[in-house]
Structure 1
Amino acid sequence: MSRFEGFSEGARRVLDAADRLAREYHGTTWQSLHLLHALWSDESRAAELMERAGLTQSALHAELPLAETANDRSRPSHTADSPVEHDDLLLSQESVLGAARRFAVGRDEIGTEFLLAGILAVDDDISARLARLGMDADAFHAEFTVPDTEPSEPIDVQINLRPPDTAATEAIDTSRVLDAAANRAREGLRVVEDFVRFVLDDADLSERLKTLRHRLQVELESFGGADLMFARDTQHDVGTQIQTVTESRRESPRSVLLANTRRVEEALRTIGEFGKRIAPTAAAAIEQLRYDFYTIERAVYVIWRSRERLRNAHLYLLATDSLCPRGLGPVVKAALAGGVDIVQLREKTLSDRRLIEQARRLREWTHAADALLIINDRPDIAALVNADGVHLGQDDMPVREARRIVGGEKLVGVSTHHLDQARQAVLDGADYLGVGPTFPSATKTFSEFAGLEYIRAVAEEVSLPWFAIGGISQENVAQVYDAGGRRIAVSNAICGADDPEAAARLLRSAIVGG
């Protein structure tokens, strides 16, 4: 006979959960401590009774933490210095299960409330601790030891076949919905993760998607986990015969991505809605998981779009009139002729009127050279002169606020100085990153240098387009290339050169061809 024979589905689920908790925290089979926490987490009938007695999650974890070992607790059959052997644990399990069976005599099945009654009857230590939290064990036992005095009905020998109970039918229908949606969500997440991993080569987002898949699996346990498949009926699922024209065709990797991000979102919504009937807390967690996926999804699409838009952009000029001895106009025009792909107007002291005039001239020159124009710090000016985007520092306005001014199609770049800032900028929806400072700069003073180590770290983890910045010149550009940099942003190396066009040409050749 199975040790769990006669126990309800919910009780078996709790016992399995207790086993997982025991392995996670102590690497052994479950004790009554693990079973108590499993009962609470499952939102079972037993959890309702504990809540009704005034127990709270914070009080339970404070009084009976899962990290506590058997040796930390005082038991009648063990001393504090005597380890609890495996056979003793099994004996303790059988004592709890045996007590639960005794309380459930005459019942159709042994539910979670009887497991709780068994713990309180067998484990004096837990019973005493729960009493301190307001739970009266004697009163609880009395609820289950009162004999059932209801008169029994005579057995009807006439057998009448009738349709299954409505509640049971609804439970099966809900399980079928959850099983199908869970499969779609898991499969879709895997496809998106593979796209990010193999098409974008993005280590950070791949890790985030993997973590999200694992979080989904944990929450699905609250809805029945693998047991959901027992309600599956693929042969009679009418949806398997419905297929649209677009469903059988994928024109590009991006179309694969689009189809599967939509699949994940829709499946998570279904799980969240139907899951509310079974485990509202887990359904709320699924909703948060869906929001987190939205953020990752945006980052993936921004990376894809930015890589296309900046595919051939390798040399970025930071232009400031006062740092160009030959004048801003001649230097920028020569640099564009030498192969500069992006020009950023970087003026900190000009009046707005003068800044707009300067930006409009650069807009004409960059447009004629088929290059991009970025305005530093000022999304309002970028919008006024129809620049291609704006660049923000760590102390400037957030990406989301700049987007409200320049719109969704303009580029928004962000300066970063360590890996956490780079990761956050990707999640914030930045189109490209400035990565540095790499070397001491002739145009800007830095208290610290991220250096080539930061270049290497970003090259390994971030697939969003990024430009190494800070003191890069003809003398050290090869070091940037060797560290993984394929795009650079410079100022003095071109603005201060005797021949800005030649300087630009040499720098671009070094970073593109190595």
Structure 2
Amino acid sequence: MNPPFTEGSRRVLQLAGAIAQAAGIRELQPEHLLWAIWLDESRGAEILASRGLSHAALSQRLPLPCSPEELNTLRGKSAESPSLPHGVTVGEILASAREHVGNLGRHAEIGTEHLLLALTRVSSSASPVLGELQLGTEAALQEVVSRTGESQEPLDAGIRLNSSPAPQTDQSDLLRILDAAANRAREGLRVIEDYVRFSLNDRHLTEQLKECRHRLAQTEQRLPAAQRLAARDTRGDLGTTLHTRREMQRQSLVDVVLADFKRVQEACRTLEEYGKTLSAEFSQAAGQTRYAVYTLERAVLQTAHALDRLANRRLYLLLTESLCPHGSGPVVRAALSSGVDVIQIREKQMKDRDLLAHARRVREWTAAADCLLIINDRPDIAALVHADGVHVGQEELPAAEARRIVGPEKLIGVSTHSLEQAREAVLDGADYIGIGPVFPTSTKSFSREELAGLQYVSQATGEIALPGFCIGGIGLQNLDQVLAAGARRIAVSSAICSAADPGAVTAELAARLAAVSGSGS
């Protein structure tokens, strides 16, 4: 069970979210967390002040995205600000804080001092400021202990054992263990990277894995290179001749990748545990790599699973009653008989009971036609009608929270309007993304700046392998432009709902998508 946050830490996280929103950023960044710790004036701020930090110095290195006059308003609104999603780096920081406090005992809570300690353990945009304060992990830990009295050392039971100095062979054995684990981790990451690069053809995840491998290499540099090689004894390693039958058999590429993810995680754990005998920094660096690998494991395997599950799902209909002149029922039946693959119920104004009844009717029709049913922004309705998934926007529930409601087997779709949002959706566990808006639409009004356009279609389809449905003003008249930009899946609304012959439009859209299906899945 994760340890709880103190009231001060909750204030800090709320304030960090408010600062991020003031900066116009949709996700929490390490610099927002550092600013919030400083402004909260609790133990974390005391540590920073004791190391010589000032408001002016912090402003110079990491400018606060608001004026001094707005600061008090920002403080007041922080409690009302909705929680923001965070990327991999902030996730690693929070995970590090939880792990540290979890080792203190069952009643320990995560304070602002623990958030600051975790910031020193993870390389981020806040690291240069902490480096100038000479506030590394060891120094931060000493500051925390001096203020809280906490210790992760075992209790003294009053028993004294006579110990002799460790034999010289211990150092050689330690280096052999660390050398083997580092090699396993690095080799495993390369195996996974090759799959993502050559099979998934995913530039984003390839870069994430490469970054993880480089981070591991930096950790390895802390080992004495000459002594490490001298201690290596491959010919005398029993493990080179011990293999199980299952270990030598893999049924698919995904089986290979899954096995190598476990191999990397186990190797990082070995580095983390045995690395404690070298230094806290080495152990913590290995631990942070392990956390990053957990996130990448989900992203890679979920991408592979989604590509398989949505392999032949290319035409996606957003169903809105008000756009259907003759009612949604005839539109749904015509679309189902003409080749639509996914239907999303998108009703922002319909009353809950009416929406539930409507969704149940459409669920019956889609199930009979082997068509996926998605509910827009209502995971509760999706769960009640046994829909295939739920779709959320950038302002709605985060993907992880929606999944807690609908369950692990359901599809989670996320709307994205920029490459950064698409990358985050992949790491946050989305099964597919919406890419757009491509053109102006009749269902929403967008400024010129808000239109993602065909350029974003090219960027997203060129970098991210996770299934993406291009959306926004797409119809028969401009489909060729979208396909030329790299799209192989589209989502439409009025093009079918408002058509005089919904079935004919559906059939033509489906046929034109099928004609280019050989260019990508």
TM-score range, shorter chain: 0.5 to 0.7
Q: Secondary structure at the match of 2:244?
A: coil
Amino acid at match of 1:454: Y
| Residue identity matched to 2:214 | H
Q: SS of the counterpart of 2:167?
A: helix
Shift of 1:253: 0.5
Partner SS for 1:493: helix
Query: 1:444: Cα distance to partner?
Result: 1.8
Q: Which amino acid counterpart does residue 256 of structure 2 have in structure 1?
A: V
Distance between the aligned counterparts of 1:274 and 1:176, measured in 2?
11
Q: Which residue of 1 aligns with 2:88?
A: none
Residue aligning to 2:515: 513
Matches within 5 A, 1:270-281: 270-281=270-281
Deviation of the 1:301 alpha carbon = 0.8
Deviations 1:462-508 (A, max 9, x none): 00000000000100001110100000000011011111111001111
- Which residue in 2 is equivalent to 1:467? 469
CA–CA separation in structure 1 for the residues paired with 2:406 and 2:428: 15
For 2:334, the equivalent position in structure 1 comes to: 334
Aligned residues: CA RMSD: 1.9
Counterpart of 2:469 in 1: which secondary structure? strand
Distance in 2 (alpha carbons) for counterparts of 1:166 and 1:449 = 66
Kindly provide the CA deviation profile for residues 363-396 of structure 1, in whole angstroms up to 9, marking residues without a partner as x: 0000011000000000011001000000000000
Distance in 2 between the 1:227 and 1:57 partners? Answer: 39
Mapping for residues 26-37 of structure 1, pairs under 5 Å: none
Determine the C-alpha separation between the residues in 1 that align with 2:468 and 2:348.
23
Identity %: 55
Residue 242 to residue 200, structure 1, CA distance change in 2 (3 Å): same
Output the TM-score relative to the length of structure 1: 0.68
1:173-322 equivalent positions in 2, closer than 5 A: 173-225=173-225, 227-322=227-322
Aligned AA (2:502): P
Cα contact 1:324–1:496 (8 A) shared by 2: yes
Give the distance between the partners of 1:188 and 1:437, measured in 2 at CA: 39
Amino acid across the alignment from 1:267: A
Partner of 1:96: none
CA distance in 1, matches of 2:180, 2:242: 15
Task: Read off the aligned partner of 2:509 and give its amino acid letter.
Answer: L
Question: Structure 2-normalised TM-score?
Answer: 0.67
State the Cα deviation string for residues 382-436 of structure 1 (Å, max 9, x = none).
0010000000000001011001100111000000000000000000000000000
- Equivalence for 1:452: 454
Alignment of 1:4-403 (within 5 A): 166-225=166-225, 227-403=227-403
Secondary structure of 2:221's aligned partner: helix
Q: Which has the higher contact order (CA 8 A, sep 6+)?
A: 2
Deviation string, structure 1 residues 97-126 (Cα, Å, up to 9, x no partner):
xxxxxxxxxxxxxxxxxxxxxxxxxxxxxx
Aligned position for 1:35: none
* In the alignment, structure 1 residue 499 sits paired with structure 2 residue 501: yes
Q: Which amino acid aligns with 1:315?
A: L
Deviation at 1:339, TM superposition (A): 0.5
Give the letter for the 1:499 counterpart: D
Alpha-carbon offset, residue 224 of structure 1: 2.3
Cα distance in 1 for residues equivalent to 2:443 and 2:402:
26
Q: What is the rounded CA distance, in whole Å, between the counterparts of 1:57 and 1:264 in structure 2?
A: 40
SS at match of 1:235: coil
**Secondary structure class of the residue paired with 1:222:** coil
What corresponds to 1:90 in structure 2? none
Give the corresponding residue for 2:108.
none
Contact 1:223 1:279 in 2 (8 A): no
Conserved? CA contact 1:377–1:393, under 8 Å? yes
Amino acid at match of 1:358: H
The one of 467, 481, 484 equivalent to 2:483 is 481
Partners in 2 of 1:497 and 1:179 — Cα distance? 66
* SS of equivalent residue, structure 1 residue 316: strand
Indicate conservation of the 8 Å contact 1:299/1:427, yes or no. Answer: yes
C-alpha contact 1:436 1:455 (8 A) present in aligned 2: yes
Deviation at 1:326, TM superposition (A): 1.2
Deviation by residue 1:49-102 (Cα, 9 ceiling, x = unmatched): xxxxxx98999xx9xxxxxxxxxxxxxxxxxxxxxxxxxxxxxxxxxxxxxxxx
Give 1:227 shift: 3.7
Q: How many residues align?
A: 358
| Alignment partner, residue 434 of structure 1 | 434
- 4+ long deviations beyond 2 Å: 55-59, 164-167, 223-227
Structure 2 spans left out of the alignment, 5+ residues = 1-49, 58-133, 135-163, 517-521
Structure 2: distance between partners of 1:225 and 1:392: 50
Rg: which structure is higher? 1
How far residue 459 of structure 1 moved from its aligned partner, in angstroms, is 1.2
**In 2 relative to 1, CA 57–259 (structure 1 residues): closer, same or farther, beyond 3 Å?**
farther
Q: 1:321 to 1:56 in 2, by over 3 A?
A: closer
Q: Is the 8 A contact 1:265 1:290 kept in 2?
A: yes
> What residue identity is the alignment partner of 1:340?
V
- Corresponding position of 2:404: 404
Structure 1 residue 511: deviation in Å? 2.0
Could you tell me how far 1:249 is from its partner in structure 2?
1.4
Q: Is the 8 A contact 1:478 1:511 kept in 2?
A: no
SS of 2:208 mapped into structure 1: helix
In structure 1, the residue matched to 2:72 is none
Query: C-alpha separation between the residues in 2 aligned to 1:345 and 1:167?
Result: 70
